C-alpha cells in the first residue's frame, strides 16, 4: 500500500472526513469531487494509483493505493484518514468489479474469487475497519455500493449479481446493531450508469433501446444525501432521472407452533 497527499488544508480537523473506495473513476471519483466541493477532507482509495493520484490532485484529496480485498489495506486506509485528518465521519465502500461469468463452461475460478473478494470482502473488510473510527467520532455513516443486480436476477453476469445481493444482505443484517452507536449503514443500488463497468457497445445499445443512463455525479449526489440522512439498513434504487427510492423487502413472520405445550 502506498499513499500520497495533495493540498492538505489547515482546517482539516474541523471538516467532515470522508473515505471513498473505488475512487479513481466512475461513481467513486464523482463522490470525491462532490464531497471536496462541499469542503470535506477526502481520502481516496483505489488499486489504480495513476488515476487515483490524478483525482486526488484535482480534488485536494489524500490518495491511498490499496486493494480492498485485503483486510490490512482497509485498516491502513482508515488509519491514514485518522492520522491525516483526526477522525472519520463517512465511508463510501464503492469499489467493485464484474464480468466473472457464470456457472457452466464460462466458469472461471480466479475471476469468481476476485469478484467475490472485491465486491463482498471489500465491503465486509471496509465496514470492519471503519467501525472503530466512526464510533470514536460519536457516530457516522457507511454507504456500500450494491446494484440493481443485487435486487433482481442478473443472468448476463450471475456471479456479479450474487455478490451484490450479498452486499444488501450484509448491510441489512448489520444496521440495527450499529445504530446503537450512532452509525448508519445503507446500500445504494444504481442502475445503468456511464462508468467503466458499462462498455461502450452496451451504452450504445441502451441508448438505442430508449433506456436512460445515469451520469456518475447523479448517483453520487443521491449517495451523499443518503449518507447524511437518518435512515439505516436500507437499499436505495438509483436510476437516471428518478428520485432515490428505498427497495421494499417483504416482512417475514416466523411461524409458530400450534401445539398446546402443557
Catalytic (active-site) positions:
160
Q: How many CA atoms lie within 13 A of 12 on its CB side?
A: 21
- What the block records as the C-alpha cell of 51 is 488515476
List, edge to edge, every strand of the sheet that includes 2-5: 2-5, 62-65, 41-46, 17-21, 90-93, 140-145, 183-190, 235-238, 245-246
Q: Which residues contact 55 (CB under 8 A, 6 or more apart)?
A: 23, 24, 25, 29, 32, 33, 44, 61, 63
Which among 126, 94, 116 has a CA at the least distance from the CA of 23? 94
3-class secondary structure, 126: helix
Q: Cβ–Cβ contacts within 10 Å for residue 110, how many?
A: 8
Q: Which residues contact 245 (CB under 8 A, 6 or more apart)?
A: 236, 237
Amino acid at each position: 500500500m502506498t499513499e500520497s497527499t495533495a493540498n492538505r488544508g489547515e482546517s482539516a480537523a474541523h471538516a467532515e472526513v470522508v473515505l471513498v473506495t473505488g475512487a479513481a473513476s466512475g461513481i467513486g471519483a464523482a463522490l470525491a469531487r462532490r464531497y471536496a466541493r462541499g469542503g470535506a477532507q477526502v481520502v481516496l482509495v483505489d488499486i489504480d494509483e495513476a488515476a487515483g493520484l490524478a483525482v486526488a490532485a484535482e480534488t485536494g484529496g489524500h490518495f491511498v493505493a490499496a486493494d480492498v480485498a485485503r483486510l490490512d489495506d482497509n485498516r491502513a486506509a482508515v488509519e491514514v484518514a485518522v492520522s491525516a485528518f483526526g477522525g472519520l465521519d463517512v465511508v463510501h465502500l464503492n469499489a467493485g468489479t464484474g464480468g466473472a461469468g457464470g456457472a457452466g463452461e464460462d466458469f472461471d475460478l480466479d475471476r469468481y474469487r476476485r469478484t467475490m473478494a472485491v465486491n463482498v470482502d471489500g465491503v465486509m473488510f471496509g465496514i470492519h475497519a471503519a467501525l472503530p473510527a466512526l464510533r470514536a467520532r460519536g457516530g457516522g455513516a457507511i454507504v456500500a455500493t450494491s446494484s440493481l443486480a443485487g435486487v433482481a436476477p442478473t443472468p448476463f453476469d450471475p456471479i456479479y449479481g450474487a455478490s451484490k445481493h450479498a452486499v444488501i444482505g450484509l448491510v441489512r443484517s448489520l444496521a440495527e446493531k450499529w445504530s446503537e452507536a450512532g452509525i448508519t449503514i445503507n446500500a445504494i443500488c444504481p442502475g445503468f450508469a456511464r462508468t467503466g463497468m458499462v462498455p461502450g457497445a452496451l451504452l450504445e445499445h441502451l441508448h438505442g433501446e430508449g433506456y436512460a443512463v445515469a451520469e456518475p455525479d447523479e448517483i453520487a449526489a443521491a449517495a451523499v444525501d443518503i449518507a447524511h440522512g437518518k435512515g439505516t439498513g436500507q437499499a436505495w434504487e438509483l436510476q437516471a432521472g428518478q428520485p432515490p427510492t428505498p427497495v421494499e423487502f417483504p416482512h417475514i413472520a416466523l411461524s409458530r407452533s400450534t401445539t398446546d405445550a402443557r
